[in-house]
Amino acid sequence: MKIGSYIIISILAFTSLFSCNGNEPKEQVISMEDLMGEFGDEALIEGDSTLSQDSIAVTGPLGSFLRTELETFDTSNSDKFHMLDRFSFSIREKVNFKAKEEVPYGENTMVTPRANLFYYTFSDTLKTQNAFYNWLDCFGSDCAMVKLEEDVEAIKMPPAYVLIYDTLIIAVNYRCEDINYDWRGFEKNLKNSFEQKPLFELKVDCGGPLKWK
């Protein structure tokens, strides 16, 4: 009996110890969000439930902006990868814009202007800054380092327009062949859709220059 009791007590003690030790790692578990932010696994990102898979009927300021552009552009969801996909965002929307008119490109060619809009919200300003500053460290096709509020004369990348807010980053990518299309109205409507003034605003022409506003 003494031996049997000893065995039972030992088993109970071992089980209790295992259970206690099993609770400790829970505090160190890396969330799926942190995993995406650290490794930038696009396969994980594509399963994000925040994406509008079937429609772009988004609400809020972005929804208001999309409605203002309905007469000028056809819109659709986008699955294009963006550098900001690698960071811990809260909500992400990607929208393709296709103009309902053509513009000349060269002497004998007409093209339909297109743009890709990337919209990311973050849970706090630190995550926004982390994503933005890391993006600036590898900006453009050649992963060039861009310094905050310092213009760059030449940079290998297509045209772009970027707005940075406290917990929001909006990036619009254009095509070099749409150089004759005037995007100023598009950009004005986008900026005016948000009540707050952006912390940073930058504009990039095809191959540069990159200018902060």
What band does 56 get if pLDDT is binned at 50, 70 and 90?
Answer: low
Residue 51 shares a structural domain with residue 140 = yes
Residue 50 shares a structural domain with residue 122 = yes
What pLDDT shows up at residue 65? Answer: 96
Residue 107 shares a structural domain with residue 190 = yes
Residue 194 shares a structural domain with residue 125 = yes
Separation of alpha carbons 43 and 69, rounded Å: 31
Domain of residue 16: give its range: 1-29
Kindly report which listed range (15-19, 77-81, 132-136) carries the lowest average pLDDT score.
15-19
Residue 176 shares a structural domain with residue 203 = yes
What pLDDT shows up at residue 59? Answer: 78
Domain count, the chain: 2
Mean pLDDT of all residues in 84-94: 96
Residue 38 shares a structural domain with residue 125 = yes
Measure CA of the first residue to CA of the last residue in the chain; give whole Å: 84
Residue 3 shares a structural domain with residue 36 = no
- pTM, two decimals, is 0.74
Residues in Cβ contact with 10 at an 8 Å cutoff, skipping those fewer than 6 apart: none
Residue 110 shares a structural domain with residue 12 = no
Separation of alpha carbons 191 and 183, rounded Å: 12
